[in-house]
Structure 1
């Protein structure tokens, strides 16, 4: 037996509402026309000639009931019912408002992501730029503009940014701005790696000769470094179709040019004093992306800033050689104070945290291993001074090792990454003051009697608890001790400790001791 279809009045009201929305828009009819059925039954029309969506829901409900019953009041077959439900679903989908193009998943957002780098290029800046490029891909940005004003930076951080830019599916425009900014040394490498190189009037670029790290004047090593950098920057310029000769000259001869000359030499594509001028000049330009050549469409892009978060700022802060050196010093002095005078642990906690952060910063920087070893020796000597009273000999040696080790480990000539001599000097002065305070405290305690250990028991006062012959039990410092004396004692008598042998004390009567003292 075929299942019965129950069509309630509420169902008819819902169908009437749907038909009222879509009927007059030329949508498909809710039910297919069947042979032998009049059009008036398929799509009833009111006496005034209006559509049922305007004549009212009651007329449409009656027509739908007639259509659902079929000719002669028969119920439709299973195939017909499936066709009706499919038609209803298509009608609902057709009447659903279309999603705006800007909100459709996967549609690129019409924004330009703005990044900003001011200062030396280090690990923190590299992390910030790479995260910004990833954010641009996730947001579907049409362009990334990297504002740049830098004196240079570390080679490893620069190469990390260059690789991220070349692999980015979103075109990157490096913009040396504002007026008076520069893209020196490592900045020229970023400018050469950009899909679009732009400079503001009144800016300059160049001076890209690599400098030494960690000492050494070996001519062969210097030649290898310069040749490697020259080939690297020439390859970047050729990759983007720019003049490769002048960037190579900037590496080999430390040449520099202003923005107008850079444009004439083909080092950059355009000059722009502000962002609207940059976007207008970039419209329609061809750039080379990993997937192939692409045409920039920058008209109407809305700017969207990507600022560094706390993690980027922390990396940039601790990767400063001066901060890294101070963290190591604070860690060493904090542990020294904790070992010298154990207490509530403030020195140990602060020193431990500072030391871990300092070692993390050392891991980010290209430091000299010899300098680190010398700094480690200095810390060991300072700790030894806390346990072995050497009247400051070990402490002075530790301070000297720390200062010399820091000067060797952080011997950079990279702009923005030099260790200030003032930082080393004041660290040594502070360490010297702490060492003098420690020596003074040790010297003041030399004439005082011992208050701990076996020697601290000698001269302590006590009371006899029980006594039998020459031995008994006494109470000293709140502890019960086995004791012996040359004279007989009685319970409750005051005594004083004269010596200690293992777990047995030698005592004497307090009265006898006072009587033996000269008057």
Structure 2
């Protein structure tokens, strides 16, 4: 009986074993065994966009690709910047294999002018509550664009538009020049192309350029300019989790919920570039360089002014070639400094010095050929540098004048008329000591050692002397 039950017990044991194995295989793995989400790189853009900002973004995108980041977030708070730097950033964003999200934040931030273009170029656009974007009209253009039709004459009603709608009021500002209109048309075409590429509101993009329109975060979301409104970065990453994107012909899905944030900080080279590309700093470096070389040439062998001057001049010129420089202003600055140096070398009773100061001030005022905030040279700095240059010129000229009035300290004027003491008398010649030096002398009377004589003249290396006291013993 027990033997008959043995196969049944074995069958039940095998069945239970299979069930346990199947349950173990069907049980999901713990979350700790799941692969961690790829990090998200955060690049901060604050202040005016310039060469240092463009280099910072380029390096950040390269590091994100190297480190395997799944997303790059450009957190922006900018009033705008240089057109060349903005286009460098946009080219890098469009060529990046890692998707880029532009986030205007934190609350109170803005993405004006160049920031609007960068937001339109990004794969994802987001803003924090209380932020705004827009006002993307090129600042180098003065006034509003030309009206489509000429304004109505006084006392004559405006003609209706062809579509039957009332004609808008003509702009009050001056019409742009031909070059300004070309620049405006180029800016409009550029932002329209970016909007079409990313599927965003094309009409408002053009309006932001032509009319300097701006939008708040909620209005931008309602009009299809951005896709997300988030209070902070963690909330934005939560909203982006699971979103599908197509980058360079390949589809990818973001897994940003709980992903780690890696902030890309500028290194010392980018910080140094940010300092020297400040127009005020570049102008100061150039002036220090020119004055350093001037002092070195005036006093050969000093070395320190020449070394520092050469370094400052090269660094200043390097910074200026990265900025939108008006070369007429640069030429006026160089001419002004040359006049001030010439005033020291060949005094012209202030004519060259005054002309140099005027040329320097005019050149510094028109040096930077842009109205972008943060890239101008303060008038106070220009005035201070002009006063300092004038003080240097006046001081050097005064030193030169005082040196001309001093008595000669070399040649015959320092020897003739002095008294000397005879130190040696031989059969053929006699020697005296005058002004700490030994000279051979000749005299119409016999000389003795210790006798005092007076120098009457010099003939080559021989002094003509005349005794002024009697020889000892007489």
TM-score range, shorter chain: 0.7 to 0.9
Counterpart secondary structure, 1:183: strand
Matched, 1:160 2:88: yes
- After superposition, the C-alpha distances for 1:90-133 in whole angstroms (9 at most, x for unaligned) are xxxxxxxxxx997xxxxx97111111111000011111110000
Pairing of 1:47-66 with structure 2 (within 5 A): none
Aligned to 1:387: 345
Closer/same/farther in 2, CA of residues 259 and 463 from structure 1, 3 Å limit: farther
What is the Cα deviation at residue 180 of structure 1?
0.8
Aligned to 1:282: 240
Separation (CA, whole Å) in 1 of partners of 2:236 and 2:420 = 91
Task: State whether residues 343 and 397 of structure 2, in contact with CA within 8 Å, keep that contact through their aligned partners in structure 1.
Answer: no
- After superposition, the C-alpha distances for 1:342-394 in whole angstroms (9 at most, x for unaligned) are 67444333333322221111111110111111222222223333433444443
Matched, 1:247 2:205: yes
What is the Cα deviation at residue 237 of structure 1?
1.2
Task: State whether residues 456 and 463 of structure 2, in contact with CA within 8 Å, keep that contact through their aligned partners in structure 1.
Answer: yes
Aligned to 1:122: 50
Aligned to 1:182: 110
Residue 413 of structure 1, aligned match among 345, 352, 371: 371
What is the Cα deviation at residue 332 of structure 1?
2.9
Residue 222 of structure 2, aligned match among 240, 244, 264: 264
Counterpart secondary structure, 1:409: coil
Task: State whether residues 454 and 467 of structure 2, in contact with CA within 8 Å, keep that contact through their aligned partners in structure 1.
Answer: no
Aligned to 1:146: 74
Counterpart secondary structure, 1:211: coil
Counterpart secondary structure, 1:419: coil
What is the Cα deviation at residue 447 of structure 1?
2.5
Closer/same/farther in 2, CA of residues 344 and 228 from structure 1, 3 Å limit: same
Task: State whether residues 283 and 316 of structure 2, in contact with CA within 8 Å, keep that contact through their aligned partners in structure 1.
Answer: yes
Separation (CA, whole Å) in 1 of partners of 2:301 and 2:191 = 57
Separation (CA, whole Å) in 1 of partners of 2:419 and 2:55 = 68
What is the Cα deviation at residue 444 of structure 1?
2.6
Pairing of 1:79-478 with structure 2 (within 5 A): 110-212=38-140, 219-340=177-298, 344-451=302-409
Task: Please identify which structure carries the higher helix content.
Answer: 1
Separation (CA, whole Å) in 2 of partners of 1:328 and 1:213 = 29
- After superposition, the C-alpha distances for 1:274-316 in whole angstroms (9 at most, x for unaligned) are 1111101112223342344433222231011111111111111
Counterpart secondary structure, 1:205: strand
Separation (CA, whole Å) in 2 of partners of 1:423 and 1:361 = 18
Separation (CA, whole Å) in 1 of partners of 2:276 and 2:401 = 39
Separation (CA, whole Å) in 2 of partners of 1:486 and 1:378 = 59
Aligned to 2:463: 507
Task: State whether residues 456 and 465 of structure 2, in contact with CA within 8 Å, keep that contact through their aligned partners in structure 1.
Answer: no
What is the Cα deviation at residue 338 of structure 1?
4.0
Task: State whether residues 327 and 357 of structure 1, in contact with CA within 8 Å, keep that contact through their aligned partners in structure 2.
Answer: yes
Task: State whether residues 495 and 507 of structure 1, in contact with CA within 8 Å, keep that contact through their aligned partners in structure 2.
Answer: no
Task: State whether residues 41 and 69 of structure 2, in contact with CA within 8 Å, keep that contact through their aligned partners in structure 1.
Answer: yes
Separation (CA, whole Å) in 1 of partners of 2:458 and 2:358 = 44
Counterpart secondary structure, 2:129: coil
Separation (CA, whole Å) in 2 of partners of 1:163 and 1:280 = 28
Separation (CA, whole Å) in 1 of partners of 2:264 and 2:226 = 24
Closer/same/farther in 2, CA of residues 373 and 486 from structure 1, 3 Å limit: farther
- Larger RCO, structure (CA 8 Å, separation 6 or more): 2
Separation (CA, whole Å) in 1 of partners of 2:427 and 2:347 = 45
Task: State whether residues 153 and 414 of structure 1, in contact with CA within 8 Å, keep that contact through their aligned partners in structure 2.
Answer: yes
- After superposition, the C-alpha distances for 1:217-247 in whole angstroms (9 at most, x for unaligned) are 9701101111111111111111111112211
Aligned to 1:50: none
Counterpart secondary structure, 1:198: strand
In the alignment, structure 2 segments of 5+ residues that lack a partner are 1-32, 143-174
Separation (CA, whole Å) in 1 of partners of 2:345 and 2:419 = 31
Separation (CA, whole Å) in 1 of partners of 2:357 and 2:429 = 55
What is the Cα deviation at residue 399 of structure 1?
2.5
Task: State whether residues 374 and 401 of structure 1, in contact with CA within 8 Å, keep that contact through their aligned partners in structure 2.
Answer: yes
Counterpart secondary structure, 2:366: helix
